[in-house]
Amino acid sequence: MTELLKNHVAGEWLAGAGEGVTLSDPVTGEALVRVSSEGLDLAHAFRFARDEAGAALRALTYGQRAARLAEIVKLLQAKRDDYYAIAIANSGTTRNDSAVDIDGGIFTLSYYAKLGASLGDVHALRDGNLSALSKDQSFSAQHVLTPTRGVALFINAFNFPSWGLWEKAAPALLSGVPVIVKPATATAWLTQRMVADVVDAGILPRGALSVICGGSAGLLDQIQAFDVVSFTGSAETAATLRAHPAFVARGARLNVEADSLNSAILCADAAPDTPVFQLFINEVAREMTVKSGQKCTAIRRAFVPENMLEAVVDALKTKLAKVAVGNPRNDAVRMGSLVSRAQYENVLAGIAALREEAMLAYDGSSAPLIDADATIAACIAPHLFVVNDPDNATLLHDLEVFGPVASVAPYRVVQNAGESGLPEAHAVALARRGQGSLVASIYSNDDAHLGRLALELADSHGRVHAVSPSVQQSQTGHGNVMPMSLHGGPGRAGGGEELGGLRALGFYHRRSAIQASATALEALAQITHLPAA
C-alpha cells in the first residue's frame, strides 16, 4: 500500500484515520501516496495555532519575520529538484510548466522577504499621518495597523500547490499570523512536502505553519472573529462558504478568488502586418497551453476586429499545431496532462457544451499522444473555438473550461464609439460580459492608446496587461501573477485581492484609529510608517 502523508497540526505530525484518498500520476495512473484528515482534533489545532504560534510570531519584529522568510527561500531552492519530481508525478506538468508553480512560489516568497526587511524591527505599522481633531491640534488621531490575533486558513486549488501556498503564506507570516493550509486533495503532495521541509528545518515557531491533507469538513466551524480565510476555487463553492456562520455571524474575513473569463483584445491598429499582431498570437497560444490551460488567469476569450478574424484563427491554428502533448518526462512534449481523469472528463464536458454555440476551429486531438496511453492519461490537446456572434452568445461569457480551451470572437470597430470614444468600445463591452475578471490583456502598436483603453477595462478587471512592441522583451505575460501587482478581480472573479506589494499585508492586519494627546501619540513615534505599497 502507498505511503499515507501525515498532517502537521498543533506542532505535531499526525496521520489521518482510515484508508484515505489515493493520489495518482495523471499520465500513467500509478498510485503515488494517500492523504487523510479524518480524526484530527481541529479545535485543538486551531487553538494552538491561534494562541501559541500566534504569540510566538507576534513576538518577532517584521524584520525578524522577514529574515525567517529568507531562510525558507534558501531551503526551498536547495530542494527544487525534489519538488520538480513530485510535480511531474502528481500534476503531470512539464518542467517548464512546473517552474511556473515552484519557482514562482519561491520568487514570491523571496520578494516578501526583501520587502519585509524594509519595515524594520517594529511590531506595528503607522498608516498615514496624524490628523488633528481639535482646533488647537492638542488632540489628534493616528491610524495604526496591528497583526490580527487569529489564524489564516488557506483553502487552495489544485493547479498551483506551491505558488498557491506561498503567495498567501508569505504576507501572512510576515504579518505575524500563523497559517493553516488545506491544499486541494488531488495535488496535495507538493504542498505537504514543502511544509514538511520548512517545519523539519525549525525555521518558524512551532505551529506557525500547518498543513491538513484530505477532506475539509469542519474547518470553517473552527473560524473565529479574528481569523481570516483565503479561498481559491469555484464560484459555486465560494457562495457556500460566504453563507457560513463564521462570516455571517462572527464577522471573520473571507478573501475569494473564483471563476474568471479572462480576455485578450487585439486593437484596431494591430493588423497582421504590424509588429504587435504576432505578440498577440504568441500570448493566446501560450496561455492556452501553459499548465494545460489550468490557470485561473488563462485567456479564455480573444476578441479581434472583424476584418482580422480569419488571419487570427489561421495564425493560432498554425501555432497550436506545433504543440506536442503527452508524457512530460519525454523531452519532445510541450504540454503535459490535466491533473486527473476527473478533470479530464470535466474539460471534455465543457468542450461539448461550447460546441452548442461555437464552431470548433482547431482540434488537436487528431495527433497521437507522446508516450502516453489515451485510455489512461488525463491528456487533452488544445481546442480553439470561433464564436461569430458574441453579442448573442451566452456560454462564451459564462462557461470557463479549465483546460487548453479558448474562443475567438470578432468585434465591430467603430471610430468615436460609445462613452469612451474608442474604436474598441464593442470589445470592451464584450469583455465586461464576463461579469468581472482577474485579467485582460490588450495589444496595440500605440502606447498612448493602450493607456486609454486600459482605464476603460480597469473597473471590471483586477489587472490590465498592456502590450506593445516597446515592451516586447520586458512584458511579464498575460497570465503571470507578479507579487508587485494586484491579484484578484471583481464580481464573478470573487471580489478579492491578494499580493500587490505591501497591500497584501492589509488582509492580515487590523486598522485602528488611536485618538489621544500629542504627548500620548509620541509613544507611537518609533512605529514604522507604512511605506507606499
Active site positions, annotated: 257, 296
| Residue 506, phi then psi, degrees to nearest 5 | -60, -35
Is the CA virtual torsion 496, 502, 508, 513 positive or negative? Answer: negative
Q: Which of 484, 360, 497, 416 is nearest to 108 (CA)?
A: 484
Total Cβ atoms within 10 A of residue 176: 27
Give residue 475's identity as a one-letter amino acid code. Answer: Q
Total length of the chain: 533
CA 97 to chain centre: 15
Report the candidate in 361, 408, 370 with the shortest Cα–Cα distance to residue 389: 408
> Edge-to-edge, what's the strand order for the sheet holding 299-305?
359-363, 383-386, 405-411, 299-305, 262-266, 437-443, 461-467
How many helices and strands, by DSSP H and E, does the chain display?
16, 24
The end-to-end CA distance of the chain, in Å, is 50
Handedness of CA 45, 46, 49, 50 (dihedral sign): negative
Q: How many CB atoms lie within 10 A of CB 89?
A: 22
Maximal C-alpha separation, the chain: 80
Parallel, antiparallel, or unpaired for β 131-132 and 139-147? antiparallel
- What angle, 0 to 180 degrees and rounded to 10, lies between the N-to-C axes of helices 447-458 and 425-432? 30
Q: How far is CA 81 from CA 65, 87, 248, 290, in A?
A: 26, 10, 44, 20
- Name the H helices within 272-340: 275-289, 309-320
Backbone angles phi, psi at 399, to 5 degrees: -110, 115
Nearest Cα to Cα of residue 503 among 526, 474, 482, 478: 482
Question: Which residue do the cell numbers 493616528 mark?
Answer: 142
State how far the Cα of 398 lies from the Cα of 346, in Å rounded to an integer: 15
C-alpha cell belonging to residue 186: 488531488
Could you give the CA distance from residue 274 to residue 475 in angstroms, rounded to a whole number? Answer: 18
Question: Which three cell numbers mark 341?
Answer: 481523469
